[in-house]
Structure 1
Amino acid sequence: MNKKWILGLGLGAGGLLLVGGGLVATGYWADRAMGGGVETLMNTQERAQKVAELNARHPFQAPAAGKVLRLDEARLAAYLAAREATLPAYEVLQKETLEYVQAHGSELNSGSRSAILKAAGASLRMVGKAQSVLLRNLEAQGMSPVEFRSLTTVVYPPPEAPPAAGAAMASQASDPSDPANLAQLEAQLAAITPQLEDPKLTEAERLQLEQRRAGLRKYITQMELASGKDVKDANAALLKKHAERIAKAANPTFDDLLTRPLDAAGTAGLPTP
């Protein structure tokens, strides 16, 4: 039985109770089984309302699918400030979770339905306190949860799964903006310069090479823009500038438990016990 499972249990159980019939249907049973479950779930609804309010008050347009978000240094600073200010609340959450596991671990390991529901209620309350702190810090920075999550995907991108060999080959063959294809075109462009220095070239041959060089330069520029290379390069420079601060605030579990569940469309999935 691990700490992350206890934390995730509350998020998953809370979502099931809310979606499965709402507060009226769970009513007195939920309140007893989860140790004050109705109040806890009402607090969850209040946080969801706060998320909606912040998103409306500070609208943010995330980039279209496949496009890269261009980082702005001022917004990156606001993002990191909100994250840093929330980390102490996350540390309290970790401490409370460890204490709960130590106190109730044997009951939870027994698989008791009552113990699991009480853990779900406790988890919702513990996670909820930290999420409330994050929402207050976002409000202080004039930032919506949508912007916070979008920035998280750029500052702390999830690890990418390696593609299958066949898929990788197909991607290279079909995607002209693939780095390998860009490298080939840049090599072709570089090869034209020494050819133009050949004194034996006729005017027609020189004109043909110059036209080809101009065409390659234009095509490479278009491909780089389509691939977002300019945005990626600018982002990389900004992330490098603030690398020490970003590293100190890095915490994947923080994002799993506090950032991802702020999406009003659903709740985090249950981690594996």
Structure 2
Amino acid sequence: MKKVLIGLGIGCGVFILAGIGLMLAGGIWAKNKFGGSIEAMQSIQAQEQELTQLNASNPFKAPPEGQVLPLDEPRLLAYLTVRESALPAFKAFEAKSKEFEAQHAGDGDEKPGFNAAVDAASLFMGLMADVRKAYIAGLKAQGMSPAEFQSITTTVYASMVADSLEQIGAAAEQGRKMMVTQLAEVDKRLADDSLADEERAQLEEARAQLQDTLDAIEEPGANEEQPLSEASKKAAAANVELLKKHKERVELMANVAFDGFVLGGAGADGQAAGLE
């Protein structure tokens, strides 16, 4: 049997999809047969209502599109606390999912059997409800809405990427200057009338390649993005410094699979929202 818990770190796989399909198609019969899964689904639906209520009771206005959210240290620490309080439930989900996969591995089946599909769906639904329960409890304890949590998540990841891109950009600029220097050196050598034809041909080919690369780098709009406002530039720089201050906690909390679970709930407008 192929891996059945894939994507999002573990994901749902064919077992879970098949099991959910059976439960949805089975109606009342499924409710009697798979009571635990139905209860978990009902819990998840109730949790969506709780998330919507948290947005209403803890109003949060995200910055306009293209602008940077300035991270407030107390709210960042509250955010990290929410993640840390919910991650153990997600780790338990991962462990139990791997156990399930190991139990059903190696039997050679391409498609899940009926019982395995139902078991996988029950496992997934129950553990997902557990993760959401811990997440919601964390939000309530910190007085945080899922909209604020989502906005901070996006800002944290974007700031981490921006810091890396800034370093890459500095290296790229250094590389561009080196290419300009190399071109000047090649031109100087090509000006030597005593060059053998073979060496001249090699230098001309090398020069053409260098020039093509340099032209691509310097082409207008090649690396151009929508410019940030001065306020957003300051916010982005301050965010990077704040994240560095709490580097260990930030690195420990980074878990895109976890985000796929919790950000799939009510977002800023109370509707389904998630990471792109």
- 1: distance between equivalents of 2:142 and 2:151? 15
Which segment drifts farther, 116-125 or 238-247?
Answer: 116-125
Richer in helix (by share): 1
Q: Residues 1-273 of structure 1 correspond to what in structure 2 (within 5 A)?
A: 1=3, 3-5=5-7, 7-9=11-13, 13=17, 27-31=27-31, 36-105=36-105, 109-112=109-112, 114=114, 115-157=116-158, 171=221, 177=227, 224-225=229-230, 228-256=232-260, 258-263=261-266, 265-266=271-272
8 Å contact 2:4–2:13 — kept in the other structure? Answer: no
- 1: distance between equivalents of 2:13 and 2:44? 14
Structural RMSD (CA)? 3.8
Q: How far does residue 147 in structure 1 lie from its aligned partner after superposition?
A: 0.8
Structure 2 residue runs of 5 or longer lacking an equivalent are: 166-214
- 2: distance between equivalents of 1:173 and 1:96? 44
8 Å contact 2:40–2:126 — kept in the other structure? Answer: yes
Instruction: Answer 1 or 2: higher relative contact order, Cα 8 Å, separation at least 6.
Output: 1
8 Å contact 1:62–1:147 — kept in the other structure? Answer: yes
8 Å contact 2:150–2:263 — kept in the other structure? Answer: yes
Which segment drifts farther, 133-142 or 102-111?
Answer: 102-111
Deviations 1:50-89 (A, max 9, x none): 1111111111111111111110011001001111122221
- 1: distance between equivalents of 2:226 and 2:249? 36
Q: How far does residue 249 in structure 1 lie from its aligned partner after superposition?
A: 2.0
Q: 1:142 to 1:107 in 2, by over 3 A?
A: farther
Q: Normalization by structure 1: what TM-score?
A: 0.64
- Paired residue type of 1:68: V
Q: How far does residue 171 in structure 1 lie from its aligned partner after superposition?
A: 3.9
8 Å contact 1:69–1:154 — kept in the other structure? Answer: yes
SS at match of 1:156: helix
- Paired residue type of 1:75: R
Q: Normalization by structure 2: what TM-score?
A: 0.63
Q: How far does residue 93 in structure 1 lie from its aligned partner after superposition?
A: 1.2
Deviations 1:100-153 (A, max 9, x none): 222234679531362334412320111210111011011000001111111111
Match of 1:191 in 2: none
**Alignment length, in residue pairs?**
213
- Paired residue type of 1:80: L
Structure 1 residue runs of 5 or longer lacking an equivalent are: 178-222
- 2: distance between equivalents of 1:117 and 1:68? 44
- 1: distance between equivalents of 2:141 and 2:147? 15
- Paired residue type of 2:243: L
- 1: distance between equivalents of 2:69 and 2:230? 13
8 Å contact 2:5–2:13 — kept in the other structure? Answer: no
- 2: distance between equivalents of 1:235 and 1:82? 19
Percent identity between matched residues is 32
8 Å contact 1:51–1:145 — kept in the other structure? Answer: yes
SS at match of 2:263: helix
